[in-house]
Amino acid sequence: MTLLDVRNLSVSIPTPEGDVHAVRSVDLSIERGEIHGVIGESGCGKTMTGMAMLGLVPQGARIAADRFHFDGEDLSENASRLRGRRIGLISQDPAAALNPVLSIARQMDDVLSAHRDMPRQTRHAEAAALLAATGLPDPEKVLKSYPHQLSGGMQQRVVIAQALATGADFLIADEPTTALDVSVGAQVLALLRRLVSERGLTVLMITHDMDVIAEACDRATVLYAGRSVETGPVDDVLRRPGHPYTRALLAALPDAGPHGARLAAIEGSIPPPRIAIAGCAFAPRCPQAMLVCAAEPPPMRARATHRWLCHLPEDAA
Amino acid sequence: MTVPPMLDVEDLVIRYPARGLFAARPKPAVNGASFRLAKGETLGIVGESGSGKTSLLRAILRLLPVESGAVRLEGQDWLALKGQALRRARQKIGVVSQNPFLSLSPRLTIADILAEPMLAQGDRQGAAMRKKIAGLLADCGLPADFLDRRARELSGGQAQRVAIARALALEPGLLILDEPTSALDVSVQAQILNLLADLKESRGLSMLFVTHNLKVVAHISDTLLVMRHGDVIEFGRTEEVLRAPAEAYTRELLSFGRNAAMA
Amino acid sequence: MKRLVHRLGWPGTIALAIILLFVLVAILAPWIAPYPTQGAGAPNVAAKLSQPSANYWLGTDHLGRDILSRIIYGTRISLTNGVLIVAFSLLIGLPVGLAAGYFGGWVDEALMRGTDVFLAFPALLLAVLMAAALGPGFLNSIIAVAVTWWPWYARLARAEVLVLRGQPYVEAARLAGVSHQRIIIRHILPATGRPLTVQAALDVGPALLTAAALSFLGLGVLPPTADWGQMVDAGRKFFPARWWYSAMPGMTIFIIALAFSVLGDALRERKGGPARDAA
């Protein structure tokens, strides 16, 4: 069942020098119980897409969409009401998400008392249970701690426990492992996978890291210049990419080629966020670009549930 | 007689001073590291936070005192150098750090930034220097019209190219790179890694590449050193380490991202 | 103008305008003072101690000199006092703070313990003692105040340098073999300069207030040069019957000190540029 259904989402921010098209056209369709990766490089609009779902876009920003539904409710009206109730955020920097001067017990209790109707004693037990569910070995000790006494990985687990405490069933994780060591990040991703299967959560995983997508996600959507250019099961997107940009991105990874060989860098840079784009946004950098690419919006190509936007026919991919 | 290695580190121990008079002596940040970097090769040092890789790097740069052990640069006792002699010898090592926007002065133009090391070693300002600077920029893949810009006007990849150009200004034999691509996008990272490979080839550079990202360093380095909790847990030719990692920890790092949609 | 109000708020903008007005008055004193010769000190005994009137807007003093003209001329002394005190203090404090912060270790210890000695005394008391020891006079009173003032700049500069010293671009210069002297001049000084100049500009107010206090105690500028503090003191003998003699220069000191204080608060709470509206 589709939990999040987004069609043609755009976010533009008016400035004196003209509108900044932070998100141009993003389609997202996320099934209940999946981890859906949104991948892209800086400036692709991935974070702004997540913020739009939380109702946290900058003041004055305009959000438009053909459809912007979360579990049947229209997010363009209800985003800020659903935030912290059904939709939770796990951000890149867990240290910044926790109040440095309050104990973990106090911060967990604040969340629980705001969202759950239960007596104080039960709340303490619930807080401990939630921390235990995130794999923290000694919940009672963690409850007595202050954020700075915990490692980055432990802090991120506390943030996840807080999100669970709100009762949220949809988590937006914005680069949740970027600030952590690789081995610790892998554990946090494993935790998210476990929570998804045990508690029926749904996760939108925003990342720039292909390894995170490969490690944790069921499906993925690739963003380029504020547009979703490809979406599908992770296996298809990573092993049989349809869009030339996805192919280029995968080829640029240091472990893509043989040891020491030159890497396939993508020449050029993303189009500036203020200009309008007529055809395919990747056309100027695309090694397979044709005349039509710069002029006309690319059509949808599909292999089962794997879809991408490209002028090249399916069999060329 | 054989050519001495570019860098020869022997049983290096680094320990931070105890905090307070009666505090217990802390365990060493680096616990007896030994390795060699041959001329013209790249050594990758991998480790996570707290592994000691940063302490090791700072000690080699003489920004941190060592407790015991030896560091020889082209056979010369590097730890014995002091004051003026050390300052002059620094031109043998070029350094590139993680965030180019922090490591390039926000107030100076690119031309000034690149001139600084040359002026420090007594070169004269003038047309010859400007030509040399433009040449450095070109070697690092940037056009000469960048000379009068400032770092904040550049993209991350361009700024990192400037930082590399500065590190090469005094034609060092050894380039030390501290997480040089960690702040960059994948496609830009590929450009920088290619540039480094080119420079190594054209200038016969030796490189010390320090990072937390095993995959990046595995791609570019000839020898690989893995650190954990202050210990060197793996050191050898990159192909061998990758083929048969001795430690479970190394295998774990290598396998990350390889579980694609197994679930 | 709109941007200025946006950044400083209305109180800050008005305070800045008042300060600029005083500067203008100081520069143009001979041309705008109603009685320039009296402003410069020439007596006019016939009109002594007249109350404020159409001829003498703020009244006259015990030698019949127009108070308004005296205040206008006094602006020159007061502002110069303030500026020079701050400048002297910077001249001593900045190098001390730079050296202490940059080199650290025993240099830092020695220099900062030295400044602590000065900070151990109440500032005004130390200034009075210094002024008494040096004897009254324009330059002496400035030196006396500057002696109590510079340790603050030393500490401020040191704190700035401690942050800058760890910046990667400063470290990069050091690793390139750039000399200490050059690093300080090229990288440290320009970056410390800005916050320190802002602080110094704001300190002109309190500095001229201290200088006024010294001349009130007879330890500042000598008559017949016009000086606000000295005028308040001279008028005391005729207070409250001839209230305007003390009150007018007193009000002036109050206004300028308040203006500097308000501007200081406005600068500290300064809002970001227009970018904030766009974001």
Structure tokens at A317: 């991919």
pLDDT digits (tens, 9 = 90+) for B196-219: 999 999 999 999 999 988 888 888
Within 8 A of A15 by CB-CB distance, chain C residues are 278
- CB contact (8 A) between residue B116 and residue C186: yes
- CB contact (8 A) between residue A262 and residue B194: yes
Q: Are A250 and B190 in contact (CB under 8 A)?
A: no
Determine the residue among C103, C164, C165, C169 to mutate to test chain B binding: the one whose Cβ has the most chain B Cβ atoms within 10 Å. Answer: C169
Helix (H, G, I), strand (E, B) or coil at B179: coil
- Is A99's pLDDT higher than 70? yes
- Is A35's pLDDT higher than 50? yes
Taking the Cβ of residue A182 and every Cβ of chain B, the question of whether any pair is shorter than 8 Å is answered with: yes
Taking the Cβ of residue C187 and every Cβ of chain B, the question of whether any pair is shorter than 8 Å is answered with: yes
pLDDT at A221: 97
Which of A119-123, A259-263, B13-17, B23-27 has the lowest average pLDDT? B23-27
Structure-derived torsion over alpha carbons of residues B20, B57, B213, B199, reported in degrees to the nearest 10? 160
Structure tokens at A16: 């004196």
- Is B233's pLDDT higher than 80? yes
pLDDT digits (tens, 9 = 90+) for C84-126: 999 999 999 999 999 999 998 889 999 999 999 888 888 888 8
Within 8 A of B102 by CB-CB distance, chain C residues are 167-169
CA distance C166 to chain B (A): 11
CATH superfamily of the A2-86+168-316 domain: P-loop containing nucleotide triphosphate hydrolases (3.40.50.300)
Helix (H, G, I), strand (E, B) or coil at B36: strand
pLDDT at A219: 96
pLDDT at A131: 94
Q: Taking the CB of residue C85, how many other CB atoms lie within 10 A of it?
A: 29
pLDDT at A256: 77
Angle between helices C189-216 and C138-165 (to 10 degrees): 150
Q: Concatenate the DSSP letters of all residues of B49-118 into one string.
A: TTSSHHHHHHHHTTSS--SEEEEEETTEEGGG--HHHHHHHGGGEEEE-S-HHHHS-TTSBHHHHHHHHH
Residue in B238, B242, B253 closest to A183 by CB: B253
Within 8 A of B258 by CB-CB distance, chain A residues are 214
What pairs with residue A222 in β-bridges?
Answer: A39, A230
pLDDT digits (tens, 9 = 90+) for B38-67: 999 999 999 988 899 999 999 999 988 899
Structural domain contains residue B1:
no
Which residues of chain A from 247 to 306 reach within 8 Å of chain B, CB to CB?
248-249, 252-255, 257, 259-260, 262-266, 269
Task: Name the pLDDT band for C274 (thresholds 50, 70, 90).
Answer: very low
Highest mean pLDDT among A118-122, B118-122, B173-177, C68-72: B173-177
Closest by CA position to C19, among listed C236, C191, C264: C264
Alpha helices in chain C (DSSP H): 2-32, 36-40, 67-103, 105-120, 123-134, 138-165, 168-175, 180-183, 189-216, 228-236, 243-268, 275-278
Which chains contact B through at least 3 pairs of Cβ atoms less than 8 Å apart?
A: A, C
- Is A107's pLDDT higher than 90? yes
pLDDT at A91: 87
pLDDT digits (tens, 9 = 90+) for B176-198: 999 999 888 888 999 999 999 99
pLDDT digits (tens, 9 = 90+) for C54-64: 888 888 888 88
Determine the residue among A12, A48, A59 to mutate to test chain C binding: the one whose Cβ has the most chain C Cβ atoms within 10 Å. Answer: A59
CA distance A36 to chain C (A): 28
pLDDT at C196: 83
pLDDT at A76: 83
CA distance B90 to chain C (A): 6
Which of A98-107, C60-69, C98-107 has the lowest average pLDDT? C60-69
Whether residue C240 has a cis bond before it, omega within 30° of 0: yes
Cα(A231)–Cα(A221) distance, integer angstroms: 4
Taking the Cβ of residue A193 and every Cβ of chain B, the question of whether any pair is shorter than 8 Å is answered with: yes
Which chains contact C through at least 3 pairs of Cβ atoms less than 8 Å apart?
A: A, B
Determine the residue among B181, B217, B223, B256 to mutate to test chain A binding: the one whose Cβ has the most chain A Cβ atoms within 10 Å. Answer: B256
How distant, in Å, are the alpha carbons of A217, B151, C194 from that of B109?
44, 7, 19
Within 8 A of C189 by CB-CB distance, chain B residues are none
Instruction: Count the domains in chain B.
Output: 1
Residue in A182, A214, A239 closest to B48 by CB: A182
Structure tokens at A98: 């926790």
pLDDT at C203: 86
Cα(C140)–Cα(C132) distance, integer angstroms: 9
Structural domain contains residue B2:
no
pLDDT at C276: 29
Indicate the pTM of the whole model: 0.80
Within 8 A of A13 by CB-CB distance, chain C residues are 278-279
Residue in B187, B256, B258 closest to A41 by CB: B187
pLDDT at B204: 92
Determine the residue among A215, A240, A285 to mutate to test chain B binding: the one whose Cβ has the most chain B Cβ atoms within 10 Å. Answer: A215
Taking the Cβ of residue A67 and every Cβ of chain B, the question of whether any pair is shorter than 8 Å is answered with: no
Q: Taking the CB of residue B106, how many other CB atoms lie within 10 A of it?
A: 13
pLDDT digits (tens, 9 = 90+) for A220-270: 999 999 999 999 999 999 999 999 999 999 999 988 778 888 888 888 888
Of chain A, the percentage scoring pLDDT greater than 90 comes to 64
Instruction: Count the domains in chain C.
Output: 1
Helix (H) or strand (E) holding C176: none
Cα(A131)–Cα(A117) distance, integer angstroms: 19
Residue in C167, C177, C187 closest to B120 by CB: C177
- Is C278's pLDDT higher than 50? no
Within 8 A of B121 by CB-CB distance, chain C residues are 177
What are the residues of chain B with a beta carbon less than 8 Å away from any beta carbon of chain C?
A: 61, 63, 87-88, 90-91, 93, 95, 97, 99, 102-108, 116-117, 119-121, 163, 166, 169-170
Cα(B216)–Cα(B184) distance, integer angstroms: 12
- Is A179's pLDDT higher than 50? yes
Within 8 A of B186 by CB-CB distance, chain A residues are 41, 208, 210, 249, 252-253
pLDDT at C270: 62
- CB contact (8 A) between residue C172 and residue B97: yes
Residue C264 sits in a domain of what CATH number?
1.10.3720.10
Which chains contact A through at least 3 pairs of Cβ atoms less than 8 Å apart?
A: B, C
Cα(A246)–Cα(C33) distance, integer angstroms: 78
Cα(B150)–Cα(B157) distance, integer angstroms: 14
Within 8 A of C279 by CB-CB distance, chain A residues are 13, 58-59
Radius of gyration (C-alpha) of chain B in whole angstroms: 19
Structural domain contains residue B261:
no
Taking the Cβ of residue C172 and every Cβ of chain B, the question of whether any pair is shorter than 8 Å is answered with: yes
Cα(C255)–Cα(C232) distance, integer angstroms: 14
Alpha carbons within 13 A on the beta-carbon side of B29: 20
- Is B258's pLDDT higher than 70? no
pLDDT at A317: 62
Residue B106 sits in a domain of what CATH number?
3.40.50.300
- CB contact (8 A) between residue A211 and residue B252: no
In chain C, what's the furthest Cα-to-Cα distance? Answer: 76
Please provide the average confidence, as pLDDT, over all residues in chain A.
91
List the single residue in B with minimal CA-CA distance to A194: B263
- CB contact (8 A) between residue C177 and residue B93: no
pLDDT digits (tens, 9 = 90+) for C136-185: 888 888 888 898 889 989 999 999 999 888 888 998 888 888 888 889 98
List the single residue in B with minimal CA-CA distance to A217: B261
Residues of C31-49 as b/e, b for ≥16 C-beta within 10 angstroms?
eebebbebbbeeebeebeb
Cα(A5)–Cα(A65) distance, integer angstroms: 11
- Is C273's pLDDT higher than 50? no
Cα(C52)–Cα(C30) distance, integer angstroms: 21
Please provide the average confidence, as pLDDT, over all residues in chain C.
84
Q: Which domain does C259 fall in, by range?
A: 2-278
pLDDT at B180: 92
Contacts of residues B228-233 at CB distance under 8 Å and 24 or more positions apart, as own/partner, are B228/B47, B228/B48, B228/B51, B229/B50, B229/B51, B229/B52, B230/B27, B230/B28, B230/B29, B230/B30, B230/B31, B230/B51, B230/B52, B231/B31, B231/B32, B231/B52, B232/B32, B232/B33, B232/B34, B232/B35
Structural domain contains residue B263:
no
Structural domain contains residue B19:
yes
C49 or C100, greater pLDDT = C100
pLDDT at B1: 57
Taking the Cβ of residue A13 and every Cβ of chain C, the question of whether any pair is shorter than 8 Å is answered with: yes
C177 or A172, greater pLDDT = A172
Q: Are C126 and C63 in contact (CB under 8 A)?
A: no
- Is C1's pLDDT higher than 80? no
Of chain C, the percentage scoring pLDDT greater than 70 comes to 96
pLDDT digits (tens, 9 = 90+) for B145-179: 899 999 888 988 999 999 999 999 999 999 999 99
pLDDT at A81: 84
Within 8 A of C169 by CB-CB distance, chain B residues are 102-106
